[in-house]
Structure 1
Amino acid sequence: MLALNAIGVGLFCWLIFALAVYALPFFVAFNIGMAAFEGGASLLGALLVGIVSGALTLVLGQVAFAASRRLALRIVIATAYAVPAAVAGYQVAFALSHIGVPLPAWREIFACLGAVCVGGTAWTRLTVFAEPGPFDLAGW
């Protein structure tokens, strides 16, 4: 039974890391879908609008990051994707730390480590899509 619990928690943590880069698109999709539903769209229409807006957010963010050559713009785009993922990582790590960590200070430490790890994962996954800038081959 203990082994199944460990496998379940491990699978859940893997899922959080795998979905880290999608925190911002999910947030956008959820809010636009809810706005469409409250604005009078049907359930299916709001779901469709939400899915399209989330996919568009992900694709446009990746294309903008890959196409931009300015480092400051790339940092802003990557931060926009990494911060919601870090907040989600903090919340998940804090919730999971309640299972086996009795001291509140250690819960906060684990939650902060979870935020850094999940935010870093989202940052890394977004930057994988970008090609490195052109190198100056004049010295070769």
Structure 2
Amino acid sequence: MIILAIIATLAGIAALCWLLFNLAVFALPLFAGIAVGTWAHETGAGIPGAVIVGAIAAALTFGLFQLLLLVARPAWVKLLVILAFVAPAAIAGYHATFGIVKLTMPSDTWQLVFSIVGAAAVGLTAFMRLTLMTPPGPAGQGVARAS
């Protein structure tokens, strides 16, 4: 029974890490949705209204990201847009990793080290996934044409 508990715990941790890596891309839209939903609830929209308004805000945030990637011409503007989404993902990765290692390691130094490594891994994964969403440049860009 103890071995089954250990295996189930490891499978749960692996599932949560998989979820973290897959959903880190949506950290900024989630934060925007929660912030706007909380504001809507505090202004009297009620729970259903707050959920609807928060979901709309999250969708608009992600839609704005897609639009900015589509419209932005210089690569450095696209990089800034992507980094605006990567930063909250890295912060979420730091806190998720810190929550896990806080339970398993007594050393504060190693907790910090592993949390920073987790933040870098999640941030890099989010960066790679977001750059895959970037549309390619115009056809023929950078190619010399024969006259």
TM-score of the two chains, using structure 2 as the length reference: 0.88
- Large movers: runs of 4+ above 3 Å: none
Q: Equivalent residue for 2:17?
A: 13
Question: Looking at CA atoms only, which structure, 1 or 2, has the larger radius of gyration?
Answer: 2
Q: Equivalent residue for 1:74?
A: 78
Q: How many residues align?
A: 140
TM-aligned CA deviation for residue 20 of structure 1: 0.1
The residue type paired with residue 24 of structure 2 is A
Q: Is the 8 A contact 2:30 2:58 kept in 1?
A: yes
The residue type paired with residue 94 of structure 1 is F
Picking from 35, 51, 61, the partner of 1:31 is 35
Distance 2:26 2:135 in 1: 20
Distance 2:30 2:90 in 1: 14
Q: Equivalent residue for 1:137?
A: 143
Distance 1:65 1:34 in 2: 28
Gaps in structure 2 of 5+ consecutive residues: none
Q: Is the 8 A contact 1:66 1:129 kept in 2?
A: no
Identity of aligned residues (%): 36
TM-aligned CA deviation for residue 139 of structure 1: 6.5
Picking from 47, 65, 73, the partner of 2:69 is 65
Q: Equivalent residue for 1:51?
A: 55
Which range moves more in the overlay, 124-133 or 80-89?
A: 124-133
Which range moves more in the overlay, 65-74 or 9-18?
A: 65-74
Deviations 1:107-135 (A, max 9, x none): 11110011111111222221111123243
TM-score of the two chains, using structure 1 as the length reference: 0.92
